[in-house]
Amino acid sequence: MSKKTLVDLDPWLAPHKGIIKSREAYVSSTLERVLDGKSPADFALGFRHFGLHRLNMAA
């Protein structure tokens, strides 16, 4: 069974099929570039490395 597209689910979007496909391709390529082979869950843990950290420094 093939995966249904947005246009398959909503025929009113048929006139905009080309734009929808190009936006889906853009989102997919951006996700590939940003995730760099990681899962979205692993990417979300990036705050551990890049986030703000408290330091216990005596003043």
Q: Is the entire prediction scored with pTM above 0.75?
A: no
The closest of 42, 39, 19, 56 to 7, measured between CA atoms, is 19
What's residue 33's pLDDT?
A: 95
Query: Tokens 């082979």 correspond to what residue?
Result: 37
Cβ partners under 8 Å of residue 24, min gap 6: 6
Count Cβ atoms within 10 A of the Cβ of residue 20 and give its class: 0-12 exposed, 13-18 middle, 19 or more buried.
Answer: middle
Residue 10 clears pLDDT 90, i.e. is over it? yes
List, for residues 11-34, the tens digit of each pLDDT value. Answer: 999 999 999 999 999 999 999 999
pLDDT range class, residue 49, cuts 50, 70, 90: confident
